[in-house]
Structure 1
């Protein structure tokens, strides 16, 4: 029997393709204390024809226990990657929820070399401590 595949989510906006693979970190979680730890792997690929630099991020994090939180900041994990056409930037991060179920979505603001800017949408992805039929993509 094969294990269930890890779900992934993707979205393309203005020549930037964003792919997200979330996972539950049961060994780092403590459900009795309301601590559910989730990791997510992000792949950002410039499939367009213009170079672009990621400047800022905005996340909407939904926790079934406490509602929504907005997180904004510069770059991603301390970097503001400049992506030429065909280049890829990948990183991992995590979040801690008080509930075993939630979701995240957001956007990255990019600036092209010509000075124009745009938002690349980060698709909504499910954070679930237990596998659920509606999380398989």
Structure 2
């Protein structure tokens, strides 16, 4: 099986009420990402792409090198975790995207970041 099918991403998100200001339509969320290399070869994350959609359907695209200032290398079986954040104008939204990764042979591939929800507590029934 090729490396691109063996690099998995999972995300947990949470609302940061102390940094949010609903009266100003400012809802702050943090998310913790876990990237696990299930392949038998090392891989390196080079770039990221996010599609952020708020509750009104407004979409924002974010792309750039690495994550939180690094381009981590993951050995076989290794997991890299980091935490970042997003600010929305609505109490609910979603994020999804992909990472651009290369394997040990320098073959590039994309690893999908599954859709996940950003939601203020009790905003959804």
Q: TM-score, normalised by structure 1?
A: 0.84
Partner of 1:75: 66
Runs of 4+ in 1 over 3 A off after TM superposition: none
Report the RMSD for the aligned CA atoms in angstroms: 1.2
| Structure 1 portions without partners, runs of 5+ | 1-12
| Structure 2 portions without partners, runs of 5+ | none
Q: 2 CA distance for matches of 1:71 and 1:14? A: 24
Q: 2 CA distance for matches of 1:67 and 1:47? A: 35
Q: Matched residue pairs, number? A: 121
Q: TM-score, normalised by structure 2?
A: 0.92
User: For residues 2-40 of structure 1, what are the alpha-carbon distances to aligned partners after superposition, in whole Å with 9 as ceiling and x for unaligned?
Assistant: xxxxxxxxxxx5211111000011111000000000000
Give the secondary structure class of the aligned counterpart of 2:80: strand
1:52 Cα deviation after fit: 0.6
Q: 1 CA distance for matches of 2:68 and 2:85? A: 11
- For 1:4-83, list aligned pairs within 5 A: 14-65=5-56, 67-83=58-74
1:64 Cα deviation after fit: 1.8
